[in-house]
Amino acid sequence: MAESVVNVGDVPAGDPVNLLGVTAAGHLVKKPASTLMPASAASGFAPAAHVGTRGDAHAEATDTAAGFMSAASVVKLGGIASGATANATDSALRDRSSHTGTQGISTVEGLPAALNGINSELDSLQLGQAERPTQTQADGRYLRSGVAVSLSEAINEAAASVVSSATASAIWAAKGNNIALTGTATITAFPAAPQAGAVRWLTCAAGITITNSANIAVQGAASYTTRAGDVLRVEAITTTTFRVSIFAANGRSPLYRPAALVTGYTNGWEAYPGFEPRYWRDCSGATHLEGAIRSGAVGQPAFTLPAGFRPVLTNFGAAVVSNAAFGFVQISTAGVLMPTVPSVNDYIYLSGIVFLSVA
């Protein structure tokens, strides 16, 4: 349909959208009916005030509905650097070693159950076998602390080396149960053991004196000086008290102690020249006296024997030769030797006195 010229008075009020333009003669031109926009379509256009402007006339987008981006969202996106993860590869970012911090076991899916399964396996695992055995607990299974364990194969223990020290020989800290003990320092105490019942085997490289005391019970109840090759078994009775067993390299009984000169005379007694008294202990634990004394007060102590060389029985007495006649001496369980009448102090011959000194 062709466009038609209309008079101004023929234009419906409020309907300028149907006009196309003005002719050269100054006439208003009306669109053909086929090109006219229905009045109902006008509602689909944005208001002129919104076109090309910003503001809050439109709803912002949410996590459930589309909308316009807020200023805060623009700032947040702008703060993300280009290639923000380019400092590490994706594989590196996924690697567990790249992660820090801790996480509770209960928060990891499946982990508590898996650990319980491992504990069950340990309860049934027998040393030296790859498969789970069918034995009972008393028949060789490896069990948790507090349950007896029976082993069916050898234990290969480690060896270590420790230097002797008066009170700090580090036998419990050594990485092995079999220890080469070097040095020559006299040992008067051991450091605290990890627990009662702990045992260490010491192979001595030289002469080391182990002091018998309230905290170290040396076999034979007397201090012992080792020889190269001697082996000592140290057992913790408690964490601070110990028992030392001796295995001499020469095969001799650990009860044996070589001869030593008597010292510490009292009350005027002294060694008879050429017959200086000495004491020693045989392999059965019996102490022997040799030599002679003179010049002291009869009825008064002459000297005291050291621990390990004292009579086990109380009121031990022995007949002796004194000035070519009969004499008598007493030795207490404290080791005090005292000549008594009818002895005289010209000389008292001690050789031949023997008494049990180790119970």
Q: Which residue has the higher pLDDT, 61 or 197?
A: 197
CB of 308 within 8 A of CB of 220? yes
**Running DSSP on this structure, what letter comes out for residue 92?**
H
CB of 336 within 8 A of CB of 301? yes
The helix or strand, by DSSP H or E, that contains position 114, with its residue range, turns out to be: helix 111-123
Q: Which of 133-142, 155-164, 277-286 has the lowest mean pLDDT?
A: 133-142
**Running DSSP on this structure, what letter comes out for residue 68?**
B
* Type of residue found at 24: A
Q: Which residues contact 334 (CB under 8 A, 6 or more apart)?
A: 304, 310
* Residue 85 predicted with pLDDT over 70: no
Confidence of residue 39 (pLDDT cuts 50, 70, 90): low
* Residue 307 predicted with pLDDT over 50: yes
CB of 190 within 8 A of CB of 168? no
Position 130 scores a pLDDT of 43
Quote the tokens at residue 66. 């589309």
Q: Which of 41-55, 236-250, 321-335 has the lowest mean pLDDT?
A: 41-55
Position 17 scores a pLDDT of 47
Position 297 scores a pLDDT of 96
Ordered by start, the domain boundaries in the chain are 4-34, 159-247, 257-356
3-state SS, residue 117: helix
CATH topology of domain 257-356: Immunoglobulin-like (2.60.40)
Q: Which of 29-38, 75-84, 115-124, 347-356 has the lowest mean pLDDT?
A: 29-38
Specify which of 21-25, 38-42, 70-74, 269-273 reaches the highest per-range mean pLDDT: 269-273
Confidence of residue 83 (pLDDT cuts 50, 70, 90): low
In whole angstroms, give the CA distance from residue 346 to residue 359.
35
Q: Which of 4-8, 76-80, 132-136, 246-250 has the lowest mean pLDDT?
A: 132-136
Over residues 325-332, mean pLDDT: 96
CB of 276 within 8 A of CB of 261? yes
In whole angstroms, give the CA distance from residue 220 to residue 244.
10
Position 142 scores a pLDDT of 47
Q: Which residue has the higher pLDDT, 66 or 183?
A: 183
* Mean of the per-residue pLDDT values of the chain: 81
Position 127 scores a pLDDT of 47
Percent of the chain with pLDDT over 70: 73
CA distances from 292 to 75, 83, 264, 305, 337 (A): 109, 102, 15, 15, 12
Position 134 scores a pLDDT of 42
CATH topology of domain 159-247: Jelly Rolls (2.60.120)
Class of residue 210 by CB neighbours under 10 A (exposed 0-12, middle 13-18, buried 19+): buried
* Type of residue found at 82: S
